[in-house]
Amino acid sequence: MTAYEFILIEKPAPGVGVVRLNRPQALNALNAGLMREVGAALRTLDADDSIGCMIITGNDKAFAAGADIKEMFGTTYVDMFMKSSLVSGFDFAPIGKPIIAAVSGFALGGGCEMAMLCDMIVASETAVFGQPEINLGILPGGGGTQRLTRAVGKALAMEIMLTDRRLTADEALRYGLVNRVVAIESYFDEAVALAQKVAGLSQVAIRLTKDAINKAYEATLHEGLEFEKRNFYLAFGTEDKAEGMQAFIEKRKAQWKHR
């Protein structure tokens, strides 16, 4: 297995692959090396047929306190524009399998944005979400102005990004940013259980569904409905559709082939 410097790879349950951010001394600040490793690990897990769902997590104190400010301090416009791993690392679009963020402690700046890049978020009761870039004289660059606004609405998004208002885990749940909030002792296990549920289903149906949901962010309602219809028709060409319906009729558990 590839040796990583800033992350750990874990496989805590069948079908589940975990990318654990591992710079605890810097509250998992996202430096270029870490972002390169996250990208490489996600691509490797995505290509691994034994994995059906991935989790990105940190530790109890920090999911990630944002991009590495000490590294960004020496970064110029041209560096950022021409070859930033920060930029390429914040594109999860090529990853087909669902990703769950298991968040405890700080999820700030790029940390909050990385959680929002994931498909679902399980939070511990200690999680804190925020976009404090304004204090550094910059603005969110990893999707915060767009994804957070879509998640919580304009008024609250403005307050969070213009004044560094931070959301507690319960607030994040209330405003629709996260799927659930659980005790700090169980947030990771809860994320693993959720990932196992996803991994135990037809991977081809999961992919078609995830892609259709994501389309809702980019398309008009008409275009989105057309896209959903195409994916629905496509599902009727799969072996898993035949098996899923046959299993229902025969009152037994489906045996997915992921084809």
Catalytic residues: 67, 110, 113, 133
Check residue 38 and report its DSSP letter.
H
Residue 109 three-state SS = coil
Residue nearest to ligand DAK (CB): 109
Q: CA 231 to CA 211: how far, in whole Å? A: 9
What b/e readout covers 109-144, taking b as 16+ CB neighbours within 10 angstroms? Answer: bbbbbbbbbbbbbbbbbbbbbbbbbeeeeeebbbbb
φ, ψ of residue 196 to 5 degrees: the values are: -65, -40
CB count in 10 Å sphere of residue 185: 10
Residue 87 or 254 having the CB closest to ligand DAK: 87
The CB-of-66 to ligand DAK minimum distance in angstroms stands at 3
Both tokens of 183, joined, read: 């005790």
107 touches ligand DAK by CB under 6 A? no
Residue 15 or 140 having the CB closest to ligand DAK: 140
39 touches ligand DAK by CB under 6 A? no
Site string for ligand DAK, 136-175 (x = CB under 6 A): x----xx---------------------------------
90 touches ligand DAK by CB under 6 A? yes
Per CB under 6 A, residues contacting ligand DAK are: 26-27, 29, 65-70, 86-87, 90, 106, 108-110, 113, 132-133, 136, 141-142
